[in-house]
Structure 1
Amino acid sequence: MSRQAEAHPAWDPAQYGVFGDERGRPFADLLARVDLVRPALVVDLGCGSGELTASLAERWPDAVVTGLDASPDMIEAARGHALRGRLEFRTGDVADWRADRPADLIVSNAVLQWVPGHTALLPRWTRALAPGGRLAFQVPGNFAAPSHTLLRELCRSPRWRDALAGTVHDEPVLDPSGYADLLAREGCQVDAWETTYIQILPGEDPVLEWVKGTALRPVLSALGPADTAEFLDAYRDSLRDAYPRTPYGTVFPFRRVFVVAGRPGP
């Protein structure tokens, strides 16, 4: 099993897509800051189920676009978007990816938080860019939010710590300044920023449904059915207190960190 597959256990494309519009908005905001006109090769590292990767092929119809993801289930779903000669999807670990030829754009959307030591990958990825190319990525920055602190506390409680040791991490990403410093030292021109989306989610226990598609995946993969039900009951109660339901929905602030790094042109 690859390192990324270990970090992405039992991904469920349907669950991940429950809040597809909300999850897609940061991707659109990231790509809005990419100023390439006619890239020849675009690579999406951690492409998931492929809908967003397909939008890259729509934006740049002359480009060859490749999506890579460690989850066979995600790649199976993504291949429904494939276009012969223009858009392809492959199973693979982003930590092991090597460029066959220089890429004009490397995109990584909500992936690097799952990759241990990902800051060591970023310089290598910038060196895989063609002159004038761009590296664009975004990661969640909400690891201090109740959705994550409550999850960590529960996983590390006496009831669960033996079964769930190592499944969640405190702060696996840098802030915008950290990424800007890292990539500027590599000679890149860096645009780094953060945004907090104030999302109003519908339905009953929507924050739980949200994290079932992402942060909870390692936990759900580690537990059997009976333990899963017990764990979710306890976590649900905590989330209800932290994110109370209102007549118009549940307010879920969602911080994201964005970076676009450009390799100097010829």
Structure 2
Amino acid sequence: MSSGWDPQRYLTYADERGRPFLDLVGRVAAVEPRVVVDLGCGPGNLTSLLPDRWPAAAITGVDSSDAMIRAASDSSAAERVAFHRADLRDWLAGAPADSVDVLVSNATLQWLPEHLDLMPALVRAVAPGGWLALQVPGNHDEPSHTLRAELAAEPPYDVHTAGVAAPHAHGARTYLRALQALGCTVDAWETTYLHVLRGPDPVFTWISGTGARPTLQALPDGLRARFEEELKARLRAAYPDDGNGVVLPFRRIFVVARKG
């Protein structure tokens, strides 16, 4: 398996992954923003919706993955969105203060263990009266994550998977209080979606494109196939298909803040 993100695998459940983005941006009440930035834009399929919402804005998508930025730049979205490859932290370090009217980060910050410490930098980049909108998964205690972690900690996998990246997020209240302390008016909430997935081993397909990706990439070829089969079996037991599809409960955490 090649390293990095796989845009096509990530887009397997594009509709389900897109719903939180739409719910997040729908709570941003900006009327005519001049500058809109999507931090962690991925393959650009969701960023491409922002010009429809704010047609007069200059819109930029930023992502650290070469593969994701290539996919975004090769898509029709590139006609209306400027895509740039950059680490989110580096982008924040170089962003002028008060320069962005709407700053969006959808399903990205969970990959940065210290992301709560980035809240001051995120707010600093937003113009007075502007908006910061972020969404992170909050399902890390679900079997889709715990089964992967348990199996990865067993021999012979553990020697290869120790210390691999794993997503992590805080509760909505934690983000609300952190942003209030920075002078923002904050709307924070949680939603649990019940995604009905179909096809062979759909939960494995879902997580292999996101949360399980670093673990799978850390394993050598021979062990990876063995690991995948065992993980699929455990996931099938945890998420049975009764003939009407597999139900994947997915909790998401949303925060929309307006800078004072």
Normalised by the length of structure 1, the TM-score is 0.92
Between the two proteins, the alignment pairs up a number of residues equal to: 253
Unaligned runs of 5+ in 2: none
The answer to whether residue 61 in structure 2 is matched with residue 64 in structure 1 is: no
2:153 matched residue in structure 1: 156
1:203 matched residue in structure 2: 199
Q: Which amino acid aligns with 1:254?
A: F
- Matched-pair contact (CA < 8 Å) for 1:180–1:192: yes
Cα distance in 1 for residues equivalent to 2:219 and 2:154: 15
Cα distance in 2 for residues equivalent to 1:87 and 1:239: 38
Secondary structure of residue in 2 paired with 1:245: coil
- Matched-pair contact (CA < 8 Å) for 1:11–1:74: yes
The answer to whether residue 86 in structure 2 is matched with residue 92 in structure 1 is: yes
Q: Which amino acid aligns with 1:259?
A: V
Range with bigger deviation, 159-168 or 172-181: 159-168
Cα distance in 1 for residues equivalent to 2:208 and 2:84: 25
Normalised by the length of structure 2, the TM-score is 0.94
Correspondence 1:1-266 to 2 at 5 A: 9-79=3-73, 80=75, 81-83=77-79, 86-97=80-91, 98-100=94-96, 102-169=99-166, 172-264=168-260
Which digits, 9 at most, give the CA deviation of each residue in 1:113-158, with x for residues without a partner? 1012011111111011111101101000000000001111111113
Secondary structure of residue in 1 paired with 2:46: helix
Cα distance in 2 for residues equivalent to 1:253 and 1:178: 22
The share of aligned pairs that are identical, in percent, is 49
Secondary structure of residue in 2 paired with 1:246: coil
Range with bigger deviation, 90-99 or 137-146: 90-99
- Residue 168 of structure 1: CA displacement? 4.5
Secondary structure of residue in 1 paired with 2:83: strand
Cα distance in 2 for residues equivalent to 1:220 and 1:154: 11
Unaligned runs of 5+ in 1: 1-8
Runs of 4+ in 1 over 4 A off after TM superposition: none
1:6 matched residue in structure 2: none
